[in-house]
Structure 1
Amino acid sequence: SNGSSEETADSQAADPLVTVAKGFEFAEENQPLVGIIDTGFAENNPDLDYDNVILGRDWVDGDDNPLLAPGEGSEHGTHLLGLIAAGVDNGIGIDGINPEAPVWLGRGVGSGEWASSLVEFVDAAAESGQANAVVNLSLDLTEMDAEGNVSPRYELTVAERTAIEYARQQGVLLVVAAGNDGGNLSALAQASREFDNVLTVGAAEAFDPNLAVAEGHGRAEYSNFGTGLGLLAPGGTAENPVLSTVGDDLGTLAGTSVATARVTGATSVVWAANPELSYRQVIEILQSTATDLGTPNWNPDTGAGLLNLLAAVHLAKATKPQAYDPTPIEIGETPRRQHIVQPGETPAGLAEEELGDEEAWVEITDSEGNPFESPDEPLVPGTVVELPMYGGGVVNPQVESPAREPQPLTPANQTPEDLQVSLSRLYNPGETIR
């Protein structure tokens, strides 16, 4: 915002993650470089310190400036940038989780070149001199059919897998959004099943703020789920969206993009607490300290549970660093996984259960790679069939998009009345965002 807003500042100061992060101070050289690959970023928001920003490439317009003039493009990236890096206690806007960490910005969403932007960030991290690097990927990979219908994509391209492995070999941690379809994780979110430097984040909401966190919170209805889910963080709802920077002012947004940005900010704080930790240790610390929601331990619905930054920082400080040299993953064709057929299963039923789309039955083969002739033919129990590692679908790398656009405040500088946040009450119950 352009001026002081006591109401805005007070509501954001109560954000549990910001409150926890304010309690720690780490040396500048211990901060990781935080990357954000998104839709572009406002060029002049008073709550952002552009002196602490490294500009990457704009892969949409083909230039070296990912910053946007007013009205030039999507403000999705600006919103996430504010959640991570907005100035603290400056009397304007909101408070970010870790404004001390240097930030690298790349405009890759909407270009078909997000993987190229990732490679660029990895190289920039090596040149930055910072101890470590973490990148926020709050984007969804989609595909388009012959009729022009867009749907989630369930396979990564070779170029995308190569970029993720390049980041892995350089020790770069990827924080990835689960997606907002309320169904199975799509391709990028499932990459955590193959690459151990990927942490997939779903959104949580408070269903009963009168209960303790473990009993009163759960996965937001819109948040995707599945085997690759790492943990949850507050993502807001349509009725109670999250306030952050948009343009030269403020706006609101809800979704797994928001949750992911919060985990990226939290990750930067945890790593700054002990920069000698490997990315594997950081991920394990975040997951092992998460608060179980309903079901003890990890499960595909809520992952490891709800992010607990305070516990994670303290564990990071107490953890002895261990060197980790990741075994290289050979990048070739998209990997496949085996499934032992159970009684009553058909190709279509298996596709719906395992891949989230019964039309993806054409991607399922027998153990010798032969396709099945009918979606409803009974499969022989006990035999082995092969499925795509990430799911089904024909790849169209030219289509990718964040799930939602932030909404400007009306009137400007006014905090939504239902945005009440405290350490014991994260969010009011609300509707899904779709």
Structure 2
Amino acid sequence: MKRKRRLLLLGIVVLIGSHLGIPVSGSLEGMSAAASPDCFLPLEDGRCLPPPVRADQAPRPAARLMAAPTPRRPGVVVKRKPSAPPGAFRAALAAAGFPEAEALALPRWWRVPVPPGQDPEAVATRLRQRPDVEIAEVEREVRITFNPNDPYYGFQWNLPKIRAPQAWDLVTGTSSVWIAIVDTGVDYNHPDLASSRLWLGWDYVNGDNDPMDDNGHGTHVAGIAGANTNNGQGVAGVCWGCDLLAVKVLDYDGSGWDSDVADGIWYAAYWGVAFGKRTIINLSLGGPYDSSVIRDAVSYAQSHGALVVAAAGNQGTNTPFYPAAYPGVIGVSATDSSDGRAWFSNYGSYVDIAAPGVSILSTFPAPLTPPGYEPYAWINGTSMAAPHIAGVAGLVWSVWCRASAETVQNILLSTATDLGDPGWDPYFGYGLVNAEAAVRWRPAVTPVPPPGPYRQYLPLVSAACP
């Protein structure tokens, strides 16, 4: 019997940019030796993906109707063994009856569409038996899960709660840091998002570089992380000096596939290295099933210096939720305006920190806003909590530009305002994120005897950050 496992997507963001013509270092993984000089990101099957582009420089694409796309056939994601060359692997799959197999951006991973009338589980079992296949799993569906409230302009209680205004007295972010929102897309025409800070990444749903949000969730998450601020209109974002990168992996109804999510994670990390960005990847999505392809993508991103932030889930249970439960990922639970755990927020050993997630006002696509209302909405969810953490991480990384992702994570956790039981607990992790304390954090300095009659002064920051 065919089974479909579902991942719940808890947040989305889309950002845009323009073709920079920046060559990619040959040390980056996934490059093909036979690739054309014009191919910035060659895949193992010979296809190419272009780089992200700045929104204010990108040509405006033709309008696309917000209509239901042709459903994609179920697939199996397979990881080829290192001993199997890509070309030979592709030929072997075609000979085995899978001529439509395509490489993912994530090295060694391929998607094999299931032929009509065949059972996906049976196809996966058959592929696992091949000597050139390391892993074969049925592709899982992912969906967003958020609770819309009042789609109109209001107050943002959440930013004072995490002491963001006090942090802004010290730092508002830098373009050397970008926050990638891997989700449903972003309305790049929104007045609170359109700017040179917004980058247009790849749209894995439609196969182009127009990640326009046709759902609304991604635009909302993007606004929380880094909406234009101090511009006399709309709302404020946490890290409003940081760049944003939009990568669309979910369609108009908030559904998609784990292979696309994995590619979106890989894409953000890859181009972060290529463009010299300190990369934060926001994943307001997930589910109770461990996905090998997403796990590999998260590991790739972490090994390339990215900080991964993920929502803890909205089921109100302590069941492990992925990707938040993967090692090194910051798992984020949600709180209300009284510092209590949001009624829907998951809890458990994988929760590291908490952030506001109830009645959060942020940006919303104008085409999806009811007539007579401003393009803003209140939404509940751990989807909304996660970009608060991503934004504060951006502020910290703007101060400590030479810090590792692990150090930034440790700063966030060690400066959080303790809630619940003293110390770590499964509902709030180490507590509510505290933006001011995080950007004011300084490393402990061991006192040393002054040399001779001179007194030694140690700088708090060794050099100016870009």
Contact 2:281 2:390 survives alignment (8 Å)? yes
Classify the secondary structure of the residue corresponding to 2:256.
Answer: coil
> What's the counterpart of residue 138 of structure 1?
284
Contact 2:182 2:283 survives alignment (8 Å)? yes
Asked if 1:58 corresponds to 2:199, the answer is no
Displacement of 1:43 after TM fit? 3.2
Classify the secondary structure of the residue corresponding to 1:219.
Answer: coil
Moved more, 217-226 or 175-184: 217-226
Measure the CA separation in 1 of the matches of 2:224 and 2:320: 24
Measure the CA separation in 1 of the matches of 2:421 and 2:293: 37
Displacement of 1:14 after TM fit? 4.9
Asked if 1:204 corresponds to 2:351, the answer is no
> What's the counterpart of residue 191 of structure 1?
325
Displacement of 1:33 after TM fit? 1.6
> What's the counterpart of residue 247 of structure 1?
365
Q: AA paired with 1:118? A: I
Q: Which of structure 1's runs of 4+ aligned residues deviate more than 6 A?
A: 9-13, 317-322
Structure 1 residues 28 and 317: alpha-carbon distance in aligned structure 2, compared to 1, 3 A threshold: farther
Asked if 1:285 corresponds to 2:411, the answer is yes
Given the alignment, which residue of 231, 246, 254 partners 1:90? 231
> What's the counterpart of residue 225 of structure 1?
347
Classify the secondary structure of the residue corresponding to 1:41.
Answer: coil
Displacement of 1:185 after TM fit? 4.3
Deviation by residue 1:1-37 (Cα, 9 ceiling, x = unmatched): xxxxxx85787875644413321236746x4221101
Moved more, 253-262 or 45-54: 45-54
As a proportion of its length, which structure holds more helix? 1
Deviation by residue 1:240-266 (Cα, 9 ceiling, x = unmatched): x11110013111111111110111101
Measure the CA separation in 1 of the matches of 2:439 and 2:399: 6
Displacement of 1:49 after TM fit? 3.0
Structure 1 residues 190 and 27: alpha-carbon distance in aligned structure 2, compared to 1, 3 A threshold: closer
Measure the CA separation in 1 of the matches of 2:225 and 2:429: 22
* Normalised TM-score (structure 1): 0.61
Measure the CA separation in 1 of the matches of 2:158 and 2:341: 22
Q: AA paired with 1:124? A: W
Displacement of 1:47 after TM fit? 1.1
Displacement of 1:317 after TM fit? 7.1
Measure the CA separation in 2 of the matches of 1:155 and 1:286: 26
Asked if 1:128 corresponds to 2:262, the answer is no
Moved more, 121-130 or 16-25: 16-25
Displacement of 1:77 after TM fit? 0.4
Asked if 1:155 corresponds to 2:282, the answer is no
Measure the CA separation in 2 of the matches of 1:97 and 1:177: 17
Displacement of 1:220 after TM fit? 1.5
Displacement of 1:219 after TM fit? 1.7
Displacement of 1:231 after TM fit? 0.6
Contact 1:39 1:76 survives alignment (8 Å)? yes
Q: AA paired with 1:266? A: V
Measure the CA separation in 2 of the matches of 1:306 and 1:13: 12
Contact 2:280 2:306 survives alignment (8 Å)? yes
Given the alignment, which residue of 249, 261, 271 partners 1:108? 249
| CA RMSD across the alignment | 2.4
Classify the secondary structure of the residue corresponding to 1:67.
Answer: coil
Classify the secondary structure of the residue corresponding to 1:202.
Answer: strand
Contact 1:278 1:321 survives alignment (8 Å)? no
Structure 1 residues 10 and 256: alpha-carbon distance in aligned structure 2, compared to 1, 3 A threshold: closer
Deviation by residue 1:393-422 (Cα, 9 ceiling, x = unmatched): xxxxxxxxxxxxxxxxxxxxxxxxxxxxxx
Measure the CA separation in 2 of the matches of 1:243 and 1:74: 16
Contact 2:181 2:246 survives alignment (8 Å)? yes
Q: AA paired with 2:217? A: H
Measure the CA separation in 1 of the matches of 2:298 and 2:266: 8
Displacement of 1:87 after TM fit? 1.4
Contact 2:311 2:332 survives alignment (8 Å)? yes
Q: AA paired with 1:234? A: P
Contact 2:362 2:377 survives alignment (8 Å)? yes
Contact 1:78 1:247 survives alignment (8 Å)? yes
Displacement of 1:308 after TM fit? 1.0
Structure 1 residues 83 and 250: alpha-carbon distance in aligned structure 2, compared to 1, 3 A threshold: same
Classify the secondary structure of the residue corresponding to 2:220.
Answer: helix
Larger relative contact order (CA 8 Å, sep ≥ 6) = 1
Q: AA paired with 2:248? A: R
Classify the secondary structure of the residue corresponding to 1:46.
Answer: coil
Identity fraction in percent? 32
Displacement of 1:129 after TM fit? 2.1
Contact 1:135 1:173 survives alignment (8 Å)? yes
Contact 2:247 2:264 survives alignment (8 Å)? yes
> What's the counterpart of residue 149 of structure 2?
none
> What's the counterpart of residue 303 of structure 2?
169
Name stretches of at least 5 consecutive residues in structure 1 with no aligned partner.
Answer: 1-6, 142-152, 208-216, 323-434
